[in-house]
Amino acid sequence: VYLLFQALHQISQRTISTASRQYVNRVPEHQKLFQEDNGLPVHLKGGAKDALLYRTTMGLAVCGTAYVLYYLLMSSVPKKPN
């Protein structure tokens, strides 16, 4: 029983000690990128991924607005009696 407890203790200590990772501080890199004056708005300075996300969001917003306006128009027009 003692050996089992000792083995479990060693395994738990090993997984805890190896779980810590070394992280690189990238804040200065990002500050330089986002403060650079290159004529782009801040929400597009991240590259192609940001541009794709922006265009998708704008597309969904336009489609949603058109959908709402269509149903607002349809609900404001009275139906013809049969």
State the average pLDDT over residues 23-42.
90
Task: Tell me, rounded to whole angstroms, the distance of Cα 39 from its chain centroid.
Answer: 24
Q: What is the pTM assigned to this prediction?
A: 0.58
Report yes or no on 15 lying in a domain: no
What span, in angstroms and rounded, lies between the C-alpha atoms of 50 and 35? Answer: 16
Report yes or no on 5 lying in a domain: no
Report yes or no on 64 lying in a domain: yes
Report yes or no on 59 lying in a domain: yes
Burial 25-38 (b: 16+ CB within 10 A, else e): eeeeeeeeeeeeee
> Which range of residues forms the domain containing residue 65?
46-77
How many domains does one find in the chain? 1
pLDDT of 1 = 74
Structure tokens at 38: 């290159």
pLDDT in tens, 37-79: 989 898 889 889 999 999 999 999 999 999 999 999 999 998 8
Contacts of 44 (CB under 8 A, 6+ apart): 50, 51, 54
pLDDT of 7 = 80
